[in-house]
Structure 1
Amino acid sequence: MQKIELLAPAGDMEKLKTAVRYGADAVYFGGEVFSLRAGAGNLTVDEMKDAMEFLHTHGAKGYLTINIYPHNEDILPLQEYIQQIRDIPIDAFLVSDPGVMQLVKDGIPNAEIHLSTQANTTNYLSANFWVSQGVKRIVAAREMSLKEIREMREHLPEDIEIEAFLHGAMCISYSGRCLLSNYMVGRDANRGQCTHPCRWKYHLMEEKRPGEYFPIEEDDRGSYIMNSRDLCMLDCLPDMINAGVTSLKIEGRMKSAYYVATVVSAYRAALDSYMKDPENYEFKQEWYDELCKASHREFTHGFFYQKPSNRDQNYLTSDYVREYSFIGVVLGVDEATGETIVQQRNKFCVGDEIEIMSPGEPSYTEEVPSMKDEDGNAIESAPHPKQEVRIPFRKVPAKYSILRKRK
């Protein structure tokens, strides 16, 4: 069977390394400019060099997103940017604008081009047009069904790949092409500055009655009329693979390292199980339970089986479900004492029951028996951001393990 790629988001270097350690085959990341996630940490040019060295050392690939729709004022800076990164061994470039595509091809002649979902490719004629322009991978628009993706696959050359989102936030606008943020707060979603007004709370106000707000629905909570549920295809991996998708993409460059680790590990377990024995594959509830320990909204299958209906929206709240708190990451072991060195991320205390998640291993529970600070003083809690503490766990966790606590 053809290798199926698990592709993870990398908003910064920590998330990039976390994604690979927890099972991603490849990551996509943005630079400090020209990416549609300007609010993510993103990578400097020097960090990109380090990132690609790390990825290739670990047998993974890295794709750079340059998927904005530029205006004239962006062209010269973009040309200069491409010159700065041309010698970094980036595996592919995600672009959506034909002008940007040409700039990348001119500046980096051997560059592999992947067509971003922002290009709104929803049919095989468009896909083959882009192939004729040198594109090696088509990222399907989120509005495509599995039936449509399967038909696209049948009309594409065999060496052309299809990538599709299988998990993460859905956009109320067509494949992310939205002017709502621009209109309401002057920040252009198509140039990486979306403020996500589709998640805001709205009421109805009559023109001659300013200040009198009426709920759009008959309750007292207002209405989240554009608030989509999150996409989750964990229970449908075989359907995506059989439709011809060879790169399974997780959304979330703005999400935390904990989110990346949790989601990637769940999909890694499911994908490995399927690839090992497709004929006898069975979905396991434990994968889904693990996935839900990351913050999420209620889930939907999006457009893959049918056009979304009101069941795919959440009209009551745009809040995430957050049942667990990311409290720390394991940095290593104090050889002199055998204590685990933990970098704190959220407050936890002696006596707390916590879960420990390690790359490639089932999570397990331990109680925090005691703690010491960096100077060896006994402490009852770890309240300071990123402080290092030492904990004598019964079972020493692997380096880079993640600690979490049920809220």
Structure 2
Amino acid sequence: MTKPELLAPAGNFEKLKMALIYGADAVYLGGERFGLRAQAGNFTMEEIKEAVRLAHELGRKIYVTVNIIPHNEDLEGLSDYVKELDNIGVDALIFSDPGIFLIIKEAAPNMELHLSTQANNTNYKSAEFWYKQGVKRIVLARELSLIEIKEIIKKSPKELEFEAFIHGAMCISYSGRCLLSNYMVGRDANRGECAHPCRYKYYLVEEKRPGQYMPVEEDEKGTYIFNSRDLCMIEHIPELVNSGIKSFKIEGRMKSSYYIATVVGAYRKAIDQYFNDPNNYVTDKELIDEVYKASHREFSTGFYFGKPDNKGQIYENSSYVRDYAFVGLVMDYDASTGIATIEQRNKMSLGEEIEIIGPHKKMFKQVIDKMWDEEGQEIESAPHPQQIVKMRMRKEVSKYDILRREGKENE
């Protein structure tokens, strides 16, 4: 068995660093144009250059998205953009459109190419077609079962790699090809501006009774008929590995640094534990708990074990489950005193119980018994965004370890 790549999202530079620190083998990100997450922070060319430098120093990889479904004007400047990414040393480009494919081949003929899930690859002949054009990796459509994936991999050239989403948001439309956003608010999801109308609340109206709103389901709260559950496959690492998938992809370029660290860290540990002893592997319950402590909708296994039924949707609301708040990030630690320097991310106060997680440690808990501000004055709480505080720690911590507490943000 070959250990699969763990591929993490990054919407800005801090998220990139957290993904690498918490165990991602590769990170995918978007530049300021040509990607499908226009509302993410995204990366300037200088930031992409720094991202590549940092990743390569650690032996990791950077993939850049150019996966919009372009109109004519969207092609302007793309050739120069691709050439610059090639010069920087980006490891691969993720594309979906044949026109963009041609431009990449002309501008950077040696660039590694990954076919985006936007291209809706659902069969082995389509995979073979793209392989013959020079594509190195296919990002499979989310609408495939493990049985279908195994057949595609078995019937495809051995050199062709396959990548699949294993965690994160699911789309109501076929692998992201959605027109709802354009219709509802004039924002084109296929050009990076999705307004997520699949999460809106919908009612049924009879044409001769305008203003009389009836729930689509018999529920006084109405229904969110397009609202999919999130995908979570952390309890199925053996099945994913044995399918032959080369890269395990986490969705979430719009998600927080805390989300990236928590989810990437959990999957990193789960994959490593499986390869340490595959014959006796049992999913660590603590890792299952970890992914539940990041912001999420109710989970499902998507299409992996068959087409979702009505339990694949959430009809009651479109809210995230946010039972834990990210309250601090360790910036420094003095082992001689046991005092950590913390950058506040949400309010924390004396007497609260917090949890501390890190990429190379088991989670531990402690009560906040002492805090000091930057001037060394004792304080009872840290209410200010990104306030720097000192805190006594029960165990040794490291830079970029995360402090969280049960409860909502800013409580």
Q: Residue in 2 aligned with 1:246?
A: 246
Letter in 2 for 1:133: Q
Does residue 405 of the first structure (1) align with residue 405 of the second (2)? yes
- Structure 1 equivalent of residue 323 of structure 2: 323
Q: Kindly provide the amino acid, as one letter, of the partner of residue 58 in structure 1.
A: L
**In 2, distance between residues paired with 1:84 and 1:59?**
22
Number of the residue aligned with 2:76? 76
In structure 2, the residue matched to 1:3 is 3
Match in the other structure for 1:272: 272
Paired amino acid for 1:182? N
In the TM superposition, 1:116-195 aligns within 5 A as 116-195=116-195
CA distance in 1, matches of 2:314, 2:301: 14
The separation in 1 between residues aligned to 2:374 and 2:50, in whole angstroms, is 29
2:88 partner amino acid: I
Taking the TM superposition and a 5 Å limit, the aligned residue runs for 1:309-320 are 309-320=309-320
The Cα of 1:396 is off from its aligned counterpart by 3.4
Map of 1:57 onto structure 2: 57
Matches within 5 A, 1:253-292: 253-292=253-292
Give distance in 1, aligned partners of 2:364 and 2:282. Answer: 23
SS at match of 1:87: helix
Aligned match of 2:200: 200
State the 1:387 CA deviation. Answer: 1.1
* 2:276 aligned partner, one-letter code: K
Compared CA separation, residues 57 and 182, structure 1 to 2 (3 A)? same
> Counterpart in 2 of 1:367?
367
8 Å contact from structure 1 (residues 121, 140) kept in 2:
yes
Residues of 2 paired with 1:175 and 1:335: CA distance?
Answer: 49
The answer to whether the 8 A contact 2:338-2:394 is kept is: no
Partner of residue 344, structure 1: 344
**Distance across 2 between alignment mates of 1:179 and 1:163:** 25
Deviations, residues 158-188 of structure 1 (Å, cap 9, x unaligned): 1111100011110000000001000100100
Q: How many angstroms does 1:197 deviate by?
A: 0.4
Q: Secondary structure in 2 aligned to 1:363?
A: strand
Aligned to 2:327, what secondary structure does the other structure show? Answer: strand
Cα distance in 1 between the residues matched to 2:157 and 2:276? 27
Match for 2:202: what amino acid?
Y
Structure 2 stretches lacking a partner, 5+ long: none
| Pairwise CA distance, 1:208 | 4.0
Say whether the 8 Å CA contact 1:7–1:249 is kept in structure 2.
yes
Deviations 1:234-260 (A, max 9, x none): 111111121110100011111001111
The alignment-based identity, stated in percent, is: 58
Letter in 2 for 1:162: F
Q: Is contact 1:369–1:393 with CA below 8 Å preserved after alignment? A: no
Superposition TM-score, scaled by structure 2 size = 0.96
Q: Give the partner amino acid of 1:364.
A: F
TM superposition shift of 1:337: 6.0
Tell me which residue corresponds to 2:302: 302
Match of 2:213 in 1: 213
Alignment correspondent of 2:39: 39
Q: Is the 8 A contact 1:203 1:213 kept in 2?
A: yes
Following the alignment from structure 2 to structure 1, what is the Cα–Cα distance between the partners of residues 313 and 219? 17
Instruction: Return the letter of the residue paired with 2:369.
Output: P
Residues in 2 aligned to 1:336 and 1:219: alpha-carbon distance in whole angstroms: 60
Task: For 2:335 and 2:355, locate their aligned partners in 1 and report how far apart those are by CA, in whole Å.
Answer: 23
Give the whole-Å Cα distance in 2 for the aligned partners of 1:276 and 1:257.
Answer: 28
Report SS of the residue matched to 1:378: coil
Q: Does 1:379 align with 2:394?
A: no
Greater Cα shift, 264-273 or 134-143: 264-273
- Bigger drift between 359-368 and 329-338 goes to 329-338
Asked if the contact 1:68–1:190 (Cα under 8 Å) also holds between the matched residues in 2, the reply is yes
Amino acid at match of 2:320: Y
**Distance in 2 (alpha carbons) for counterparts of 1:328 and 1:287:** 21
Amino acid at match of 1:103: I
Asked if the contact 1:343–1:389 (Cα under 8 Å) also holds between the matched residues in 2, the reply is: yes
Q: Deviations over 1:260-315 (max 9, x none)?
A: 11111111111111112222222222210111111111111111111111011111
